[in-house]
Amino acid sequence: MRMDPIIYVIYIAATPERVWRAFVDDVDVRAVWWGCVLRTTLQPGTGYEYVGPGADGDETVHVWGDILEATPGERLVMTEHPGPSYNPEGAERSSRMVFTMDAVTSHLTKLTVLNDQWSEAHPGYEETKDTWPLLMSSIKSYVETGSALSFEE
């Protein structure tokens, strides 16, 4: 199966620095990333994990990888591997995630998500095409209103 890059763009009524926090701040990450936290130092070359409620309890590793670049309020680049409860061969499956925050005005940010460099037979490719719009919409809602989207009944 061919795995083209996944690209989404959304505009958020906030500064790039505020949007950045939705990717790295514990309170913000927990609100918009389905109860997860980001465990990392954000230093290029170090690892990270998005950990939260899931198949393995509250400490489920949903995705993990390496920080390639982290420029606050501008750009976050990471490799991505599916967590072990999703795919026992996760170390062999990867993609790259690039989050770019560009100031359009003093109060408007263009957020671009690029998910590319998919390894062959990556199990999350199809689901990811539907997940990014949900996640970006939740980030937009949370940053602009203080309330993330609820996906529960």
Report the C-alpha gap between 138 and 146 in whole angstroms.
Answer: 10
Q: How far is CA 40 from CA 23, 51, 101, in A?
A: 12, 11, 20
| Residue-wise pLDDT tens digits, 6-63 | 999 999 999 999 999 999 999 999 999 888 999 999 999 999 999 999 888 889 999 9
Contact 60, 87 (CB under 8 A): no
Q: What are the DSSP calls for 47-80, one per residue?
A: EEEEEEEETTEEEEEEEEEEEEEEETTTEEEEEE
| Residue-wise pLDDT tens digits, 50-106 | 999 988 888 999 999 999 999 999 999 999 998 888 777 767 889 999 999 999 999
Reported residue count of the chain is: 153
The structure tokens 């505020």 sit at 18
Domain of residue 12, residue span: 6-145
More confident residue, 121 or 60: 60
Residue 134, domain member (yes or no): yes
Q: What's the average model confidence in pLDDT over 129-147?
A: 94
Residue 152, domain member (yes or no): no
**Structure-block tokens of residue 31:** 């609100």
| CATH code of the domain covering residue 114 | 3.30.530.20
Q: Band of the pLDDT at 144, cuts 50, 70, 90?
A: very high
Residue 72, domain member (yes or no): yes
Check whether 121 has a pLDDT greater than 90: no
Report the C-alpha gap between 17 and 36 in whole angstroms.
Answer: 20
Residue 101, domain member (yes or no): yes
pTM for the whole structure: 0.92
Residue 95, domain member (yes or no): yes
What pLDDT sits at residue 91? 77
Total tally of structural domains belonging to the chain: 1
